[in-house]
Structure formats: C-alpha cells, structure tokens
Structure 1
C-alpha cells in the first residue's frame, strides 16, 4: 500500500448515515453493508444539491474514543456550493474541516477485501508511527466513473495532527 501526505480544504458531505463501532463491524451485526445498500437506494448521486457526483465518500467522523469507540459513517457526496438550504428527506450533512491527510491507496482487488485489508494496515501503521491521527474526519474515496467492485482501487484519507 502506498501513502502520501496532502492538505485538503474543508468539505460539506451529504448522504446517508449510521453510528457503529469497529467491534460491531467485525461481527455478524455490522451496519455498514446496510448503509451501502441505503446509499445505493437513495438516488443521491442524481440530486442537484451535490457536486462531483462521480466521487463517492465513505466518511468516518464523530469519533467517541479513537479507533476503539463509536463513530459515525456517512456515505454520500460533496454538497454543491449552489445547493438550496433545505436538506432532502432522509439525508444528513456533515462538515469535514480542512486537514492534513495521510493518503493510503489500496491494491486492486475485490472491494470488501482490499478495503478491510487496508484498514488493518492503517491501524498497524499508526501503532508504530510518529504521525498521530487527528480523528476529525477520515474518508474512503471511490471514483464512480471507473469503479469495478471486483477490481477496486480505493484512496483512504486519514486526518493527521500537525507535526
């Protein structure tokens, strides 16, 4: 897995959301597969309130206790700058602050396998790194124009504290 450091501006992301933990996701009652189904059923990518509709964000935010506590996951898109103030029914908006990110790129393969493997490698990376996670908002970024679930290659942005 390759990584690089970048600075990204603040974002407003709208989409569908759930609250979960890593322990829950490791068991049979994980909420993320149902959240992905809700996202695909929402039709959000066709709504006028979004920009860059081809970019799908799986945002992890509102961390309770770092990687070991509860967190909120939102799957959706950037909210367009010309969006009306009213939020479409069933969707929520979350602000992601400007941050420094360590960006990890997965290897190519089946999406559920490469993403799970990448997160395992990310957790191990930060156990032995001088860099510290900021827990202000991390996200997986999927490009819908070229997405193939059997040959996926995903970028994962992990917010890091300033050196």
Structure 2
C-alpha cells in the first residue's frame, strides 16, 4: 500500500555536511556511493566536526543540485541543521535550503536499509502524477532512528 504524504511548509534552514555527486542508476547498482558516505560519516564522526549545530538529535540526508529529474545526477549531502554556515570546515559543504512546501512521506517502522529504499519506490510512483520541484529533498533522521533495526524516517519532497 502506498504511503499518503502530508503537505507541510518549512522555513528556510541551513546545514553543513559531507557531499558526493551520484545518481539513482549508480545507487541501484553494486557501486552505490551512498552507503560508503554513511560509513565515512560515522567512522570520521563528522557530526562532532560540524560547528554551530542547531540540534543534537537530527541528521539530514539532502538531495540537491538536481541535473534534471530522478534520472540525472544530484548532490547527496549527509549533515546536520546549523544556526549559521560561517566557519564551515574546508572538507564540508554548506547548504541553504530555501523556504518551501514539501510532501512528507513517513516510512513504516523497520530496518533502515529496507524502509528508505521502499519509501523512495513509493515516492517515484507518486511523483509521476505530482509536481516535484527537484530543488532540495531530504531525509530526516531523528530519535526515531536510534535503533536502526526498528527505525522510522520522514522524507521531504519539495513541491513546485
């Protein structure tokens, strides 16, 4: 059964994190870069290197700089919301996400590795009939994801 999104409007916000450029074709192959990026994020304790954190419990994975639509390249950034992007460390990316209206998909509870992929399948189906902006989308990881085997995530999809 497909998840029905909630529509929300969010104020602009800023994040700092680590970025890669990838696309869905790469991510669906055995050469996916995103799992390696998460490993780096945790192994190097990137969270602890980010200044001016606006929260202690949220991690955000952002999809931005879309080349076209879900078939093109995009920038994938794992980071945290911050109060200011001044003093961004040299090896990191600072992003300002403009105020926008989002369709928010809340995953079922389950293993992180399954629920994210499954919900994106729903989002791709949903976006065939809805107006995705392809500006900045993001996954919000909060206290509901502390147990990775029984997690729940909100995925924000920017609307036109």
Q: Considering the TM-score relative to the shorter chain, is it more than 0.5?
A: yes
Q: Which deviations, in whole Å up to 9, do the C-alpha atoms of 1:72-118 show, x marking residues without a partner?
A: 0000001224x6x2221321101111100000000011101010000
State the SS of the aligned residue for 1:50.
coil
CA contact (8 A) 1:45 1:54 kept: no
Q: How does 1:11-90 map to 2 (within 5 A)?
A: 11-46=13-48, 47-81=50-84, 85-90=86-91
* 5+ long unaligned stretches in structure 2: none
Q: Counterpart in 2 of 1:4?
A: 6
User: Normalising by structure 2, what TM-score?
Assistant: 0.92
CA contact (8 A) 2:12 2:98 kept: yes
Cα RMSD, aligned residues only: 1.5
After TM superposition, give the deviation of residue 40 of structure 1 in Å.
1.2
Give the number of aligned pairs.
157
Q: Which deviations, in whole Å up to 9, do the C-alpha atoms of 1:17-38 show, x marking residues without a partner?
A: 1000000000011100011012
User: Normalising by structure 1, what TM-score?
Assistant: 0.90
